[in-house]
Amino acid sequence: MTQVSRPSFLRLLGAALVASVAALPAMAQQAPTLDAIRARGTLVCGVNTGLAGFAQPDSQGVWRGFDVDYCRAVAVALFNDASKVRYVPTTAQNRFTALQSGEVDMLSRNTTWTLSRDTSLGFDFPAISFFDGQGFMVKASLGVRTARELDGATICVQPGTTTEQNLTDWARANRVNFTPVVIERLEELVGAFVGGRCDAFTTDVSGLAATRAAQARPADYTILPDVISKEPLGPLVRHGDQRMTDLVRWVHFGLIASEELGITAANVRQMAANDTRPEVQRMLGRNGDLGQMLGVDNAWLVNVIAAIGNYGEIFERNLTPIGIQRGPNALWTTPGGLQYAPPFR
């Protein structure tokens, strides 16, 4: 650098300044997300840096999990190619900035739908892909039956999340004193709990179940019956981009409706050709132009189901092996199930 002669060095700096100023008006106009994704040819999806069952790279470095499958499903709907996704691992801190700044197109990262996130952070939550709630897990040897008995206990919790705030709210309402152990990364937090640093571990019940199932002797741990909050988790996109919101929302509903109608990855092609039910024909694009209304190919749902499977298959592939029950995430036709899709019409 020091060898650069004076005039050219000046010119370089000047050029950099001019270029940066010139870039300002050009960049200010933001293209709608869908067009940008199409132009780029890939969907950029923000995921967790590593949460068993939801998003985690395997031994070969391929991202897998429930949240990851939602990214893949949207990519298939757009490009008919599940590999056209770029995954950006995000932490609890930088996930919202990443979406706001356009670094990612959508966030599929176990994020709770709250009023303030929906309004003041400028996001839309197209769907609830997973109904969750916050609970507690303790070692069975402790003999605790309900959360109210945790007075005086040490509780492991992730900081800066709704979980932490729920915990303090609940403790205040129930006059429970506790000592927190706050660790940002979930692996360490789980390690601290299993190692006995804390008496109880609180997070979403799905996370508790996954942690419990991962232990050498799951029976040593009890998940308490108390659920202290509602945690509707789902993908989120930027506010003000309705076509992207619609697409993500209907991909989710398509997965639900397919399970309800018995469409699976194995039989979807055959059903698209032969099934006589009108709704199936509309969904799978043999009749009508629902796909075009969404701005994608009419065979979008055939491609999605063939590549990813329906909601039940996604659940079984990722979450059942780590010990998570369907529970409220069963279809509405099952007692206690909450997953419901509006009509495809």
Partner 1 sequence: MSDATVDPRFRRKPPKRPLRLSWADERVRGIVWQVVVVAIIGGIIYWLWSNTVHNLEVRRIATGFGFLWREAGLPIAEHVIPYEPTDTYFRALTVGVLNTLKVAVVGIVLATILGTVVGIARLSKNFLVSKIAGFYVEVIRDLPLLLQLLFWYTVMQGLPGPRQAFHPAEGLYFSNRGFRFPALEWEGAHTAALAACVVGTVLTWLYARVARAKQMADGQPRKIWPAAIALILGLPIFVWLALGAPWTIDWPALRGFNFRGGMAVSPEYAALLIGLVTYTAGFIAEVVRAGILSVNQGQWEAAQALGLRHGSVLRLIVLPQALRVIIPPMTSNYLNLTKNSSLAVAIGYQDIVSIANTTLNQTGQAIEGIAIIMLVYLTISLSISLFMNWYNAKIALVER
Partner 2 sequence: MSDITANTPIHGSSAPRDAPMATTGPIAWLRANLFSGWLSTAVTLLLGYLIVRAVVGIVDWAFINAIWSVPLSPTGVAQTQVCRDLQGAGACWAVVTEKHRFMLFGTYPYEQHWRPAIVCLLFIGLYIVSAMRRFWNWTLVPIWIVTLTAIGILMWGGVLGLPYVPQERWGGLPITLILATFGLAFAFPLSILVALGRRSSLPAIKVLCVVYVELIRGVPLISLLFMASVMFPLFLPEGMNIDKLLRAQIAIILFAGAYLAEVVRGGLQALPKGQYEAADAMGLSYWQKTGLIILPQALRLVIPPLVNTFIGFFKDTSLVLIIGIFDLLTAGKTAIVEPAWQGFGVEVYVFVGLIYLCFCFAMSKYSQGLEAELNRHRRR
C-alpha distances out from residue 200 to 60, 74, 139, 193, 196, Å? 34, 38, 7, 7, 9
Pairwise CA distance, residues 85 & 232, whole Å:
24
List 105's β-bridge partners, or say none.
none
**120 touches partner 2 (CB under 8 A):** no
Are 50 and 8 in contact by the 8 Å Cβ rule? The answer is no
Tokens 């659920």 correspond to: 227
CA distance 285 to 262: 16
d(CA 316, CA 323): 10
Contacts of 106 (CB under 8 A, 6+ apart): 43, 45, 46, 71, 74, 99, 235, 236, 237, 244, 248
- When asked if residue 10 is in the footprint of partner 1 (CB under 8 A), the reply is yes
Minimum distance between the CB of residue 234 and partner 1, rounded to whole angstroms?
Answer: 19
Stretch that binds partner 2, among 72-80, 96-104, 132-140, 199-207 (CB under 8 A): 96-104
> Contact with partner 2 (CB under 8 A): which of 37, 43, 52, 73?
52
For residue 327, give every residue at least 6 positions away whose Cβ sits within 8 Å of its Cβ, in sequence order, or none. 131, 336
> Around Cβ 230, how many Cβ atoms within 10 Å?
15
179 binds, among partner 2, partner 1, none (CB under 5 to 8 A by kind): partner 1
The reply on whether position 116 binds partner 2 by CB under 8 A is: no
- With CB under 5 to 8 Å by kind, the binding choice for 115 among partner 1, partner 2, none is none
> DSSP string spanning 49-72?
S-BTTTBEE-TTS-EESHHHHHHH
Residue 165 is a binding residue for partner 1 (CB under 8 A): yes
Query: Which of positions 119-158 make contact with partner 1 (CB under 8 A)?
Result: 120-122, 142, 150-154, 157
Q: Give whichever of 22 and 62 is closer to partner 1, judged by the CB atom.
A: 22
Q: Look up tokens 């940066």; give the residue.
A: 20
| Pairing status of strand 123-124 against strand 63-64 | unpaired
Q: Which stretch binds partner 2 (CB under 8 A): 20-28, 146-154, 255-263, 291-299?
A: 20-28
Q: Of the listed pieces 95-103, 111-119, 141-149, 302-310, which binds partner 2 according to CB under 8 A?
A: 95-103
Least CB distance from residue 142 to partner 2, whole Å? 20
Q: What values do phi and psi take at 247, rounded to 5?
A: -60, -50
How many residues belong to the site for partner 1 (CB under 8 A)? 48
Residue 102 interacts with, from partner 2, partner 1, none (CB under 5-8 Å by kind): partner 2
Please report whether residue 185 would count as binding partner 2 according to CB under 8 A. Answer: yes
- Should residue 30 be labelled a site residue for partner 2 when binding is judged by CB under 8 A? yes
Total Cβ atoms within 10 A of residue 272: 20
| Residue 56 interacting with partner 2 (CB under 8 A) | yes
Question: Where on the chain is the footprint of partner 1 (CB under 8 A)?
Answer: 10, 13, 17, 20-21, 24, 92-93, 96-97, 100-101, 120-122, 142, 150-154, 157, 159-161, 164-165, 167-169, 171-172, 178-185, 188-189, 191-192, 195-197, 199
Question: Where on the chain is the footprint of partner 2 (CB under 8 A)?
Answer: 1-3, 5-6, 23-24, 27-31, 42, 44, 49-52, 56-63, 86-91, 93-94, 97-98, 100-103, 184-187, 190-191, 194, 210, 213-216, 321-322
